[in-house]
């Protein structure tokens, strides 16, 4: 088997890269360890930055997004002493002239798979699901080989000109490129639920509360997505539905706010950590998405960073295959400038909004001062809005 680019991983990064490469006339094969049904149902991020939405529209991938996505013009920060908790709206449109769109990652994946198939990419030819025993060799040459076993147990060898590692932190690609990573683990996690309950607030609410952080979000006009700060070793089964709703009601409480309750469709705990792999390229193997970086979800950057990576990588691979190495040689530098900006923003949002068990009175007063400044200073609010809604793809920040 031969192709121009072998893509390991069929998440948003791998599938979007395959689509963008096809638009440049570059052939690719996508290899995914999970089944198609699994990747299309896996609930992950749900906030799309403005540049992400723009790119999906330009690539002809936003028909359903434009019909079903939920545009938001801002977010709300909720904080204050008991009895004095107030909402502070950060108006993105007013501050930076752009907004965000709430549209689940699994919906993006469904759209990308459907688009690849509609464009003629066949399952078992350009899209392979449930593959195993992937091995990559020859990445320092101009003809790497990817060996794998298909779902029926047959062994294949795929020769290509470049490999894109979009297989996440636990995949095989990251250790081949960057055995050293820069990491930080936070002393808490998020307990998240998906509930069949209509949203009662039109935008995301980030709530700072003495019991811990809470996030009010949504996925559709019928489904809400909610999170509670919990200890990192929390077993989701230890939290009954009644306990979750009670704690959400406490942490999200504010004058005039009503929380709809409903059947909990999904429950899980998300670790809070940061990771950056440097470099993002070795020879003809390039990392993108979670294989190269992880951010805590507070800043809503995970999927958007993956999209930004492949927006750069698609052009770099196109040029590389034509003999121009400049964009490929600059790939790590270009992407990491955005990655570290997102890491800082995500750390800042996390540090400002969460409760730290070892915080001193001095730490708590600093946190309160930061929250007050962010909502009272137009310059500070503009910085939040600029980072949250996203920077142009390819910009070196």
Active site residues: 72, 206, 297, 301, 388
Residue closest to 163 by CA, chosen among 324, 322, 33, 313: 313
Residue 199 token pair: 């949203």
- What is the CB-side half-sphere exposure of residue 390 using CA atoms within 13 A? 25
Residue 189 token pair: 């996690």
* 8 A C-beta contact, residue 247 and residue 124: no
Residue 104 token pair: 């689940």
Task: Please give the C-alpha separations between residue 59 and each of 5, 7, 213, 261, 315, in angstroms, as whole numbers.
Answer: 19, 19, 37, 38, 14
The DSSP annotation for 48-99 comes to E-HHHHHHHHHTT--HHHHHH-EEESEEEEEE-STT--EEEEEEHHHHHS--
Residue closest to 158 by CA, chosen among 4, 310, 35, 25: 4
């Amino acid at each position: 088997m031969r192709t121009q680019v072998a893509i390991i991983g069929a998440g948003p990064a791998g599938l979007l890269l395959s689509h963008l490469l096809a638009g440049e006339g570059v052939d690719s094969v996508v290899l995914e360890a999970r089944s198609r049904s699994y990747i299309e149902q896996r609930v992950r991020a749900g906030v799309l930055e403005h540049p992400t939405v723009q790119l999906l529209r330009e690539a002809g991938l936003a028909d359903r997004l434009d019909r079903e996505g939920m545009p938001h013009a801002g977010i709300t920060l909720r904080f204050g002493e008991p009895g004095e908790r107030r909402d502070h709206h950060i108006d993105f449109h007013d501050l930076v002239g752009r907004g965000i769109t709430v549209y689940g990652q699994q919906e993006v994946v469904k759209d990308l798979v459907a688009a690849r198939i509609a464009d003629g990419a066949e399952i078992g030819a350009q899209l392979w699901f449930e593959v195993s025993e992937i091995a990559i060799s020859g990445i320092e040459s101009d003809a790497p080989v990817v060996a794998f076993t298909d779902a029926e147990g047959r062994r294949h060898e795929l020769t290509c000109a470049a490999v894109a590692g979009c297989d996440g932190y636990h995949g095989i690609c990251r250790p081949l490129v960057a055995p050293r990573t820069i990491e930080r683990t936070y002393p808490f996690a998020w307990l998240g639920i998906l509930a069949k309950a209509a949203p009662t607030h039109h935008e995301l609410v980030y709530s700072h509360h003495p019991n811990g952080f809470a996030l009010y979000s949504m996925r559709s006009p019928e489904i809400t997505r909610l999170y509670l700060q919990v200890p990192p070793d929390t077993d989701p089964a230890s939290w009954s539905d009644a306990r979750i709703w009670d704690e959400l009601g406490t942490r999200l409480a504010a004058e005039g706010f009503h929380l709809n309750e409903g059947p909990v469709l999904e429950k899980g705990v998300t670790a809070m950590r940061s990771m950056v792999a440097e470099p993002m390229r070795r020879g003809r193997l390039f990392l993108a998405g979670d294989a190269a970086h992880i951010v805590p979800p507070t800043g809503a950057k995970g999927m958007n960073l993956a999209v930004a990576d492949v927006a750069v990588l698609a052009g770099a691979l196109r040029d590389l295959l034509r003999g121009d190495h400049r964009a490929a040689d600059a790939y790590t530098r270009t992407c990491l400038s955005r990655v570290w900006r997102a890491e800082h923003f995500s750390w800042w949002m996390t540090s400002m909004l969460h409760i730290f068990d070892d915080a001193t009175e001095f730490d708590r007063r600093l946190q309160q001062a930061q929250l007050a400044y962010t909502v009272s200073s137009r310059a500070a609010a503009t910085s939040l809005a600029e980072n949250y809604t996203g920077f142009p793809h390819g910009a070196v920040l």
